[in-house]
Amino acid sequence: MTRMAAGAPHIPAQTSVQKVMAQVLLALLPGILAYMYYFGVGILVQITLALLFAYTFEYLSLSARQQPLRNYLCDLSAAVTAVLFALSLPPLAPWWCSLIGMLFAIVIAKHLFGGLGQNRFNPAMVGLAVLLISFPRIFTHWSPPAMLVDNPLSMLEVLRTIFTTQPPPGMSWDAITQATPLDQLRTGAATGLLVTEVRQGPVFGHFGGLGWEWIANWYALGGLWLLWRRVIHWRVPVAVLLTTFMLTTPFYLFDPDANPLPLQHIFSGATVFVAFFIATDPVSGSATPRGQLLFGAGVAIIMLAIRRWGVYPDGVAFAILVMNMFAPLLDQYTRPRVFGHPR
Amino acid sequence: MSGDLPVMIHPAGAYLHGFHGGLKLRHYKQISTARALAQPPLPEYLQLSLQQHAGSPAIAVVKPGQHVTKGELLARAGDGLSAPVHAPTSGTIAEIQTLPLLRKPARSAPSIRLHPDGEERWHPDCERSIGNWRDFTPAQTMQRIAASGIVGLGGAVFPTASKLSSQWQTPAHTLIINGAECEPYISCDEMLMREHASEVMLGARIVAHALGITEIVIAIEDQLGALASALETARSQLNDEHILVVRVPAVYPEGGERQLIKMLTGLEVPSDGYPQTLGLACINVATAWAVKRALLDREPLIERVITVTGAIAEPRNWLCLLGTPIQHLLQCSGGLTDPGARLVIGGPVMGEQVTDPALGIDKGSNCLLALAAEQLREPQQSMPCINCGECVRVCPAMLMPQLLYHGIRKGDHALSNRLQLTDCIECGCCDLVCPSQIPLTDYFRAGKQLQAQQRQQQARADKSALRHAAREQRLQDEAAQAARKEAERQARASNPDQAQAVIGAALQRARLRKQAQKHNRNDTDGDTS
């Protein structure tokens, strides 16, 4: 009796897309908790909204594409996109930001390109870039860190702000929001202030922004856990952080009055978050060892260039999208030498 | 290639170099090493495939009904790469039929069924003295190895004599004995070394002697500390300081010849070359043992050690006659403990599912594994590739499996060629780390098959194109010649002057010839006068 033989290997892989995504979400948890601690519950509302819209669009797209819903709705990839996107929004951003962001992320960047694994661009960053370009004002409304606020907004006030898109009655945007450290550095430089003078401001901490620097540490902790779990590889985060440090150090040493500390660049804005969670997206990144180093370095270079010369205070979304375009090229030209072939 | 041959700075095994990729897998080896090596009772019948080796099938020299003795030649080696098959015990040939191969069920070959008579009477050739192996010329040793039907017992079943006698681009310097069995569950080489260490070393010395070298490296996995000391004891008994026992890290697929050589020497066997290119010979421990038995005990290869393990009542290693039916081995080992278990010949990562338990084990069968149902990879729908790069990280051939997968799926053979699909060793590492559960190795096997088919088709097409071109040319030439002749004929017919001229010229030539002859005759006349 001859049956159809199953091909080797006969034992299963110990991992799955769902497990990979779940670990990414878990690794984000310390950062999210720190975010809530320093900037209030707004971020939780944003994450909930983004998840809601993401799964609505995911469901509609999968149905329209006649894909098996059970497999794909459970893979958690839409959840990762939603959370990464929400963490890039100001905590008090209007509710429709998630709607627009997720529409572009899930429907256009992901499913119109062929769904999971086929997206050329990082979906979360596509959603973010659309908002950055279309509604730049939203990204001036960042909450101040908790240490600088006497009466933090209640949950109700936060919800009202997000859904009415107006500050709570009797308060102005200026009262409940504050320019970010990177914004202040930019405007400070424009008005001729020295970096050291700008850094005297209350929003600055030891290295980066007050509160922000600690969130970055918690993100880094999650990222290190992902490295240890082998969900991400060391090359991309190391390349992003090392390039940021190496590129800013000469500027700082040359003119410390006009250029912020290298650590400032790493610990403010989204540098650490991007290094561990955004630039490491495998689908839209490079899969070769050298390609990953170049990808990370490219992200850092473009990000710093936008911070220095661009009109946006933090250009990580654009840095990622530009490097996404280069990823196939990097894969093509950094292919490892095959075993037993000449060097 | 030969211009810039790598130079060995350190002797093989002096220190370890590592290789790219691979996986640390759980061993499960102790399951089958608790019981001592033993021989199962004689089975009712032996099913001996004539294709137990790489190359062409052996050609039967016995007829059904014929009585044979133990060690008697049943089938001689076929043309080209091939190996003979001998009777594992005395008995009667029942029938010769075509059956699927145990380890390649898609192919089939003639197979001899032998009914043992239980007398175990040896063939007279196996009892006749053949003299001391040290007095043999290399050619004699190799001839003996070939005639004994010895092939690579690690699973590649490449005829050993052919492997060792092929071209040496670098003078031979080291013999590597591969005891680094890296696939989980398999422990046949470990048990063989435990119980027959000095015989394995003797076999190695015989091969080394035939190659004109003395350096021997025996590589075993590093967690086998007890085995290492057993080997050291055997080595000191032999008093041979040229034998080096090296413990290599247990990383799958360490036992792959190219990976082991990289680990021991830091050198890569060229993709289009063999260990000989580097002056190295590499054989499995069981092969070395078979060589010893062929040259010292005059026994052809008729049995091997096989691990029977997994969801089995009494897992152990058997010293087992070739052709022993799978079902007999299962019975002797107490049967399955999980009725839903899958039988695999080989290990869990590279093994082949047993499709017919009535087939007999062959020379390359190192393990019979019963994988319990809950350990099996479920046939499930795989997710799309997310380009995570894990497969790139673990691929010991340093390929880019995810790009190869895309290439094969798209039918882009040029891409899979560029990505060196043929260098894939089908170790299955990529499958084991793929979060999307893509059966990558299946794709690569299919891709290689398609490539081979395409090459064949291409070769056939090229040949017929050549033939067609030749025919066209011939027809053209013939037509041209015919036309020329016709033109000449017409020219003569239409131009009487020219015809006259031709005739005149011919007459003139004849006249001249006649004159010349006359002249000659006159000369000779003059001389004699």
Q: What is the pLDDT of residues B281-304, one digit of tens each?
A: 999 999 999 999 999 888 999 999
Q: Within a domain: residue B527? A: no
Residue B406 sits in the same domain as residue B490: yes
CB spacing of A15 vs B433 below 8 angstroms: yes
> Across the interface, which of A116, A287, A338 has its CB nearest the CB of B383?
A116
**For residues B342 and A10, is the Cβ–Cβ distance under 8 A?**
yes
Kindly report the backbone phi and psi dihedral angles of residue A116, in degrees, each rounded to the nearest multiple of 5, phi listed first: -50, 130
Q: Within a domain: residue B157? A: yes
CA separation (Å) from B105 to A220, B109, B283? 52, 10, 26
Instruction: List all residues 6 or more positions away from B177 whose beta carbon is below 8 Å from its beta carbon.
Output: B200, B204, B216, B217, B218, B219, B283, B284, B285, B288
Nearest CA in chain A to B377: A12
Q: 3-state secondary structure string, B88-125?
A: CCCEEEEEEEEEECCCCCCCEEEEEEEEECCCCCECHH
pLDDT tens track for A42-74: 899 999 999 999 999 999 999 999 988 888 888
CB spacing of A9 vs B349 below 8 angstroms: yes
Question: Chain A within 8 Å of B275 (Cβ-Cβ)?
Answer: no
pLDDT tens track for A153-174: 788 888 888 888 888 777 777 7
- The ipTM is 0.85
**How many residues in total does chain B contain?**
529
Q: How far is CA B40 from the centre of its chain?
A: 28
The enclosing domain of B463 has a CATH number of 1.10.1060
Strands B174-179 and B280-284: parallel
Q: Within a domain: residue B523? A: no
CA separation (Å) from A62 to A69, A77, A85, B526? 6, 13, 20, 116
- Which of A72, A76, A100, A69 has its CA nearest to residue A86? A100
Question: Chain B within 8 Å of A229 (Cβ-Cβ)?
Answer: no
**For residues B343 and B368, is the Cβ–Cβ distance under 8 A?**
yes
Residues 320-359 of B with CB under 8 A from A: 342, 344, 346, 348-353, 355-356
**For residues B211 and B137, is the Cβ–Cβ distance under 8 A?**
no
Nearest CA in chain B to A67: B383
d(CA B479, CA A132): 78
* Position A189 pLDDT exceeds 80: no
Q: Which helix (H) or strand (E) holds B178?
A: strand B174-179
The alpha carbon of residue B350 is apart from the nearest alpha carbon of chain A, in Å, by 5
User: Based on the structure, what is the number of domains in chain B?
Assistant: 2
**For residues B354 and B343, is the Cβ–Cβ distance under 8 A?**
yes
The alpha carbon of residue A336 is apart from the nearest alpha carbon of chain B, in Å, by 7
Residue B315 sits in the same domain as residue B406: no
Q: Which of B305, B332, B359 is the last residue of a domain?
A: B332
Q: Which of B293, B315, B332 is the last residue of a domain?
A: B332
Residue B324 sits in the same domain as residue B403: no
Q: Which chain A residues are closer than 8 Å to B405 by Cβ?
A: none
Summarize the confidence of residues A122-140 as an average pLDDT: 92
Residue B188 sits in the same domain as residue B275: yes
> Where do we find the tokens 């003299």?
B131
3-state secondary structure of B68: strand
- Which of A36, A159, A338 has its CA nearest to residue B272? A338
Rg of chain B over all Cα atoms, to the nearest angstrom = 32
Cross-strand partners of B113 = B47, B95
Q: Within a domain: residue B488? A: yes
Residue of A23, A62, A236, A339 best to disrupt the B interface, most CBs of B under 10 A: A339
CB spacing of A9 vs B350 below 8 angstroms: yes
CB spacing of A8 vs B397 below 8 angstroms: no
- Which of A189, A195, A161, A196 has its CA nearest to residue A177? A161
CB spacing of B389 vs A292 below 8 angstroms: yes
> Across the interface, which of B355, B379, B400 has its CB nearest the CB of A2?
B355
The sheet with strand B280-284 has its strands ordered as B243-248, B215-221, B174-179, B280-284
The alpha carbon of residue A332 is apart from the nearest alpha carbon of chain B, in Å, by 10
Question: Chain A within 8 Å of B80 (Cβ-Cβ)?
Answer: no
Q: Which of B310, B332, B354 is the last residue of a domain?
A: B332
CB spacing of A283 vs B386 below 8 angstroms: yes
pTM: 0.82
Exposure pattern of B457-472 as b/e (b: 16+ CB <10 Å)?
eeeeeeeeeeeeeeee
Residue B285 sits in the same domain as residue B430: no
Question: Chain B within 8 Å of A70 (Cβ-Cβ)?
Answer: no
Cross-strand partners of B342 = B371
The token duo for A198 is 């700008």
Residue B156 sits in the same domain as residue B301: yes
Helix residue spans in chain A (DSSP H): 17-39, 42-64, 69-73, 77-87, 96-102, 123-134, 155-164, 173-176, 181-190, 195-198, 212-228, 235-254, 262-267, 271-273, 289-309, 316-333
The enclosing domain of B168 has a CATH number of 3.40.50.11540
Mean pLDDT over the full length of chain A: 86
Q: Within a domain: residue B247? A: yes
Q: How far is CA B95 from the centre of its chain?
A: 27
DSSP for A148-169 reads G-SSPPPHHHHHHHHHH-SPPT
pLDDT of res. B1: 38
Q: Within a domain: residue B338? A: no
CB spacing of B437 vs A12 below 8 angstroms: yes
Nearest CA in chain B to A327: B387
Range name among A183-197, A307-321, B428-442, B494-508 with the lowest pLDDT average: A183-197
* Position A279 pLDDT exceeds 50: yes
Provide the 10 A C-beta neighbour count for residue A254: 9
* Full residue range of the structural domain in which residue B434 is found: 380-517
Provide the 10 A C-beta neighbour count for residue B125: 15
Rg of chain A over all Cα atoms, to the nearest angstrom = 21
Question: Chain A within 8 Å of B378 (Cβ-Cβ)?
Answer: yes
The alpha carbon of residue A296 is apart from the nearest alpha carbon of chain B, in Å, by 15
Kindly report the backbone phi and psi dihedral angles of residue B320, in degrees, each rounded to the nearest multiple of 5, phi listed first: -125, 135
pLDDT of res. B528: 43
Residue B385 sits in the same domain as residue B249: no
pLDDT of res. A45: 93
CB spacing of A17 vs B386 below 8 angstroms: yes
d(CA A286, CA A291): 5
Question: Chain A within 8 Å of B455 (Cβ-Cβ)?
Answer: no
Q: Which chain B residues are closer than 8 Å to A69 by Cβ?
A: none
Summarize the confidence of residues A29-51 as an average pLDDT: 92
The token duo for A261 is 């500390």
pLDDT of res. A3: 39
Q: Fill in the DSSP letter of residue B266.
A: S
In one-letter notation, the amino acid at residue B235 is R
Q: What angle do CA A40, A45, A48 make, to 5 degrees?
A: 140
d(CA A174, CA A98): 23
Residue B132 sits in the same domain as residue B226: yes
The token duo for A260 is 């912020």
pLDDT of res. B328: 94
Cross-strand partners of B97 = B111
Interchain CB contacts (distance < 8 Å): A and B: 160
**For residues B82 and B57, is the Cβ–Cβ distance under 8 A?**
yes
Exposure pattern of A226-246 as b/e (b: 16+ CB <10 Å)?
bbeeebbbebbbbbbbbbbee
Residue B272 sits in the same domain as residue B409: no
The token duo for B16 is 């370890």
Kindly report the backbone phi and psi dihedral angles of residue B70, in degrees, each rounded to the nearest multiple of 5, phi listed first: -60, 130
Confidence category of residue A79, pLDDT binned at 50, 70, 90: very high
Residue of A110, A281, A338 best to disrupt the B interface, most CBs of B under 10 A: A338
CB spacing of A14 vs B435 below 8 angstroms: no
d(CA A170, CA A149): 16
- Burial of residue B189 (number of CB atoms within 10 Å: 0-12, 13-18, 19+): buried
pLDDT of res. B7: 46
Q: Within a domain: residue B199? A: yes
- Which of A212, A178, A180 has its CA nearest to residue A312? A180
Instruction: List all residues 6 or more positions away from A315 whose beta carbon is below 8 Å from its beta carbon.
Output: A302, A303, A305, A306, A307
Residue B328 sits in the same domain as residue B388: no
Q: Which chain B residues are closer than 8 Å to A233 by Cβ?
A: 389, 393
Q: Within a domain: residue B271? A: yes
Residue B307 sits in the same domain as residue B388: no
Instruction: List all residues 6 or more positions away from B184 whose beta carbon is below 8 Å from its beta carbon.
Output: B25, B26, B27, B28, B29, B252, B347, B348, B349
Nearest CA in chain A to B388: A282
Cross-strand partners of B283 = B177
**For residues B77 and B58, is the Cβ–Cβ distance under 8 A?**
yes
Nearest CA in chain B to A72: B383
CB spacing of B384 vs A341 below 8 angstroms: no
Q: Which helix (H) or strand (E) holds B524?
A: helix B496-528
CA separation (Å) from B487 to B475, B479, B506? 18, 12, 20
The token duo for B306 is 């096989």
Residue B285 sits in the same domain as residue B407: no
The alpha carbon of residue B2 is apart from the nearest alpha carbon of chain A, in Å, by 12
Question: Chain B within 8 Å of A332 (Cβ-Cβ)?
Answer: no
pLDDT tens track for A202-230: 667 666 677 788 888 899 999 999 999 98
CB spacing of B349 vs A282 below 8 angstroms: no
Phi-psi region of A178 (alpha: psi -120 to 50; beta: other; left: phi over 0): beta
Longest alpha-carbon distance in chain B: 117
Q: Which chain A residues are closer than 8 Å to B441 by Cβ?
A: 7-9
CB spacing of A16 vs B442 below 8 angstroms: no
Structure-model confidence comparison of residues B52 and A193, the more confident one: B52
Instruction: List all residues 6 or more positions away from B212 whose beta carbon is below 8 Å from its beta carbon.
Output: B138, B172
- Which of B352, B276, B290, B298 has its CA nearest to residue B322? B290
Range name among A237-241, A323-327, B2-6, B29-33 with the lowest pLDDT average: B2-6
Q: Which chain A residues are closer than 8 Å to B442 by Cβ?
A: 7
Dihedral sign computed on CA atoms, order A285, A289, A293, A298: negative
CB spacing of A6 vs B379 below 8 angstroms: yes
Which residue numbers in chain B have pLDDT < 50? 1-7, 9, 526-529
Kindly report the backbone phi and psi dihedral angles of residue B61, in degrees, each rounded to the nearest multiple of 5, phi listed first: -115, 10
Nearest CA in chain B to A9: B349
Number of H helices, E strands in chain B: 14, 16
d(CA B129, CA B202): 18
Range name among A248-257, A316-325, B456-465, B473-482 with the lowest pLDDT average: A248-257
Residue of B104, B392, B395 best to disrupt the A interface, most CBs of A under 10 A: B392
* Position A1 pLDDT exceeds 50: no
The token duo for A23 is 């670990």
Nearest CA in chain A to B100: A2
CB spacing of B351 vs A10 below 8 angstroms: yes
Residues 1-40 of A with CB under 8 A from B: 1-3, 5-17, 19-20
* Position A123 pLDDT exceeds 90: yes
